[in-house]
């Protein structure tokens, strides 16, 4: 359409980066920091599109990147985060220090998808493949200010801008409060003890009740004496029996 291109394509290199280009980019960012990507190539003496520089830096040259194979723990964390967030690779990457969204996206498509298929789990819905198709109602939890609303819908999506997250409820389970900071803490629990009967582990949330991975247990803790800040967590992210509380999952 009428939109101007992000850079002058005719005078930019494309394809694999050379060692010299990498060195120029690293040297420039070391000296000036990450700034205006559009003007960076010219300032750094690179015949590259600003977006290309940004991508190269973020996905490959950044000093804090953790290169190498993903660990089993990282695998499981990615799977669990993906079941909650869908293809929000940048959000998922935010929970894996040293990993980039592109890297995780590639890893998902090449390894984890197949791994889940081998386990008989649909990598999109995270449900058992042979489970009969059913009307999937989902729960939308709105977090506009302090006013929390829950409504039923029939799709799965994460809507960043509205700060609504739609989650497929596991077996009629109502999901607790979940905001983009990925904190689990229902706003108000007059009878927190009732949470005991409703708590599901992550395996159950995937329809794998009674599996060896099922470790339903309560991870809520009652608030302090003030009584107003009680927080109740769901054990979605138990990894190797170590509880990953959502309260540690702040985004950005």
Q: Which of 56, 82, 127, 183 binds DNA (CB under 7 A)?
A: 56
Name residues contacting DNA, limited to 108-137 (CB under 7 A). Answer: 109-111, 114
Q: Which is nearer to DNA, 42 or 217 (CB)?
A: 42
Q: How far is the CB of 162 from DNA (least distance, A)?
A: 9
| Binding flag, residue 6, DNA (CB under 7 A) | yes
Q: Which is nearer to DNA, 35 or 45 (CB)?
A: 35
What is the bridge-based pairing of β-strands 149-153 and 158-159? Answer: unpaired
x/- site string to DNA, residues 207 to 246, per CB under 7 A?
Answer: ----------------------------------------
| Binding flag, residue 14, DNA (CB under 7 A) | yes
| Binding flag, residue 142, DNA (CB under 7 A) | no
Name residues contacting DNA, limited to 150-209 (CB under 7 A). Answer: 160-161
Contact between 204 and 195 (Cβ < 8 Å):
no
Half-sphere exposure of 122 (CA within 13 A, CB side): 13
Phi/psi at 179 (nearest 5 deg)?
A: -115, 180
Sheet holding 138-142, edge to edge: 149-153, 138-142, 164-167, 158-159
Q: Which of 13, 125, 142, 209 binds DNA (CB under 7 A)?
A: 13
Phi/psi at 128 (nearest 5 deg)?
A: -55, 135
User: Considering only CA atoms, which of 113, 110, 182, 168 is closest in space to residue 137?
Assistant: 168
Contact between 161 and 131 (Cβ < 8 Å):
no
Q: Which is nearer to DNA, 112 or 204 (CB)?
A: 112
Q: Which of 103, 166, 168, 245 binds DNA (CB under 7 A)?
A: 103
| Binding flag, residue 143, DNA (CB under 7 A) | no
Instruction: List the beta bridge partners of residue 158.
Output: 165
| Binding flag, residue 138, DNA (CB under 7 A) | no
199/174 Cα distance (integer angstroms): 10
138/157 Cα distance (integer angstroms): 9
78/222 Cα distance (integer angstroms): 29
| Binding flag, residue 28, DNA (CB under 7 A) | no
122/114 Cα distance (integer angstroms): 10
Q: How many CB atoms lie within 10 A of CB 241?
A: 6
| Binding flag, residue 55, DNA (CB under 7 A) | yes
| Binding flag, residue 17, DNA (CB under 7 A) | yes
Q: Which is nearer to DNA, 104 or 237 (CB)?
A: 104
Q: How far is the CB of 64 from DNA (least distance, A)?
A: 15
Q: Which of 32, 66, 87, 115 binds DNA (CB under 7 A)?
A: 87
Residues forming the site for DNA (CB under 7 A):
1, 3-4, 6, 9, 13-17, 35-38, 48-52, 54-56, 59-60, 87-91, 101-103, 105-107, 109-111, 114, 160-161
């Amino acid at each position: 359409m009428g939109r101007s291109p992000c850079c002058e394509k005719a005078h930019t290199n494309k394809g694999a980066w050379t060692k010299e280009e990498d060195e120029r980019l690293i040297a420039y960012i070391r000296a000036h920091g990450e700034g205006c990507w559009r003007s960076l190539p010219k300032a750094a003496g690179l015949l590259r599109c600003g977006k290309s520089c940004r991508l190269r830096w973020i996905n490959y040259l950044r000093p804090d990147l953790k290169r190498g194979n993903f660990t089993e723990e990282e695998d499981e964390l990615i799977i669990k985060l993906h079941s909650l967030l869908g293809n929000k690779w940048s959000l998922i990457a935010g929970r894996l220090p040293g990993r980039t969204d592109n890297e995780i996206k590639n890893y998902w498509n090449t390894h984890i998808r197949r791994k889940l298929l081998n386990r008989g789990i649909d990598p999109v819905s995270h449900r058992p493949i042979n489970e009969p198709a059913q009307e999937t109602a989902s729960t939308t939890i709105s977090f506009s200010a302090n006013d929390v609303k829950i409504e039923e819908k029939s799709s799965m999506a994460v809507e960043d801008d509205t700060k609504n997250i739609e989650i497929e409820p596991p077996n009629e389970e109502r999901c607790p409060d979940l905001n983009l900071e990925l904190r689990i803490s229902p706003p108000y629990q007059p009878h927190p003890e009732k949470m005991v009967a409703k708590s599901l582990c992550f395996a159950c949330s995937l329809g794998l009740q009674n599996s060896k991975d099922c470790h339903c247990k309560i991870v809520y803790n009652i608030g302090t004496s003030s009584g107003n800040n009680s927080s109740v967590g769901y054990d979605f992210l138990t990894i190797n029996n170590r509880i990953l509380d959502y309260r540690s999952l702040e985004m950005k």
